[in-house]
Amino acid sequence: MNYSELKERIFAEIEKYRAELTALNDDIADHPEISGEEYETSKKIVKLLQSHGYKTEYPFAGRDTAFKAVFGADDHKHKVAILTEYDALPEIGHACGHCLSGSISILAALATKDLQDELDTDIHIVGTPVEETDGAKCQMVEDGIFDGYDMAIMVHLYNSTLLAPKLQGLASYMYCFHGKAAHASAAPWDGCNAFNAAQLMFHAVDMLRQHSKLDAQFHGIIRNGGEAPNIVPEEVTAEFYIRALDKKYLQELIQKVDDCARGAAIATQTTWDKYATAAVYDNMKPNPTGVAALAEIYDELGIEVNGDPDKIFGSSDAGNVSFACPGFHPCLQVTDPDTPIHTRAFAEAMKTDRAHERLVDGAKIIALQIAKIFSDEERIAAMKADFEKN
C-alpha cells in the first residue's frame, strides 16, 4: 500500500473503534486515579486490549499499574512505542487530560495493528503511569525499556495546538537542614537555627536567579519549619524544583542550588543533606525530520497550529524517552486559550463533543506519523540521523 491507501485504511479502522474508545475515555474521566494508584484504570485498558487479541505484560517494568501490549508475532524490522498515560491529579481529576490522551493512544494502536506487516513495524503500546509525580518513563529509560525502539510517540491535550512543545528539564529535591534545639529566649546561644539556614538558602537562590539564563526556573517551599516559636528550630526541610530547557544546563543549576544550601549551612552553623523527591525529567530532544512529518499530517487533517512554539509547556517524562529513541509529544487544543491545563475547567472539558473530536484527531496524528515514516526508508534514516546528531 502507498501512503494514501494506508491513510484510508487507518481512517476506516479509527471509525470502527471510535465509539469503544469514546466510552473508555468518558469512564476514565469519571473515575480518576492519581499517580501510582491507577489500578482500576490500567485494568480496564489491559482488558480492552486483550479483548482485541493483544498479548499483555501486566504489571510491567516494576510498576503495578504499567503494562506493555503487543499484537501479532512481534518479529518485524522496526519497532514503535505508543506511549499511554492515564494518571490523574489530586482533587481535580483529569485536569491534565490523560484520560483522553491515553484513549487516543489506544485508538491509534487499534487502527494500526493490522498494518504491521505492511510497514514491517511492530507497534507496541506501553502503559506509562505516574507521569504527574515520579515519572515511570524515567525509570523505564534507565532500565533500557526503550533502547530497541525506532520511535516513540503520544499526543497531549492543551489549550492550543503545537507540533513540538517546549519541555523543560525538571529536578526536584528535598533540602534538609539540621541544627540544634534550644530555648529561644532563655538560651538562644545554645542553639543552631535550621530555619534560618533554609531562609538563607531561599535568599541565595533568589540571588542566583538573576544570573541564570532566561529558561531557568526555581520554585521552593518550606515543608517543615519547626515546632514552636520558643524553640530554636532543629530540623527544617525545603523542597525545590529546578528547571531548564537543556539537560546539561539543568545539572549545572542543580550544583549551584546545592552551593546555596551549603553556604546557608556554613553561615548558620548547621548541616545539610538532600534527597530526590522524584526522578529527573529531561527536556525534549529535537528531531526535525519527525516534526516535519507531523507538520504535513496536521496540514492534511486541516488542523491549525495556533500555539506559541517558544512558550514553555512545562515538564514531562516523555522528554527522557526522546533521549533513548526518537520521541514525539505533539499537542492538540481541547479548550479555549483562556482555559489553562491543570484546572478544574480543563478536567470538565474531557467529555465534551470537542474532546471526542480530538480523540479521533489525535489517533489520526499518531497513526499517520507511523504510516508516513515507516513506509519510507529515507524518512526512517533521516529521523535516526537527527536523533544521533542532536
Closest residue by Cα to residue 23 from 11, 33, 31: 31
| Confidence (pTM) | 0.92
Domains 3-167+283-389 and 169-276 fall in the same CATH topology: no
Residue 69's SS3 state is strand
Q: Distance between CA atoms of 221 and 217, rounded to whole angstroms?
A: 14
pLDDT in tens, 242-290: 999 999 999 999 999 999 999 999 999 999 999 999 999 999 999 999 9
Residue 183 DSSP symbol: B
What percentage of the chain exceeds 90 in pLDDT? 98
Beta-carbon neighbour count of residue 303 at 10 Å?
A: 18
pLDDT in tens, 29-79: 999 999 999 999 999 999 999 999 999 999 999 999 999 999 999 999 999
Domain ranges of the chain: 3-167+283-389, 169-276
Residue 65 DSSP symbol: T
Quick one: CATH architecture of 3-167+283-389? 3-Layer(aba) Sandwich (3.40)
**Which H or E run contains 331?**
strand 331-333
Sorting pLDDT into bands at 50, 70 and 90, what band is 134?
Answer: confident
CATH 3.30.70.360 fits 169-276, yes or no: yes
What are the beta bridge partners of residue 272?
177
In the predicted structure, residue 390 carries a pLDDT above the cut 70: no
**Which H or E run contains 59?**
none
pLDDT in the model for residue 167: 95
CB 80 within 8 A of CB 150: yes
Q: Distance between CA atoms of 384 and 150, rounded to whole angstroms?
A: 8
Burial (0-12, 13-18, 19+ Cβ within 10 Å), 90 = exposed
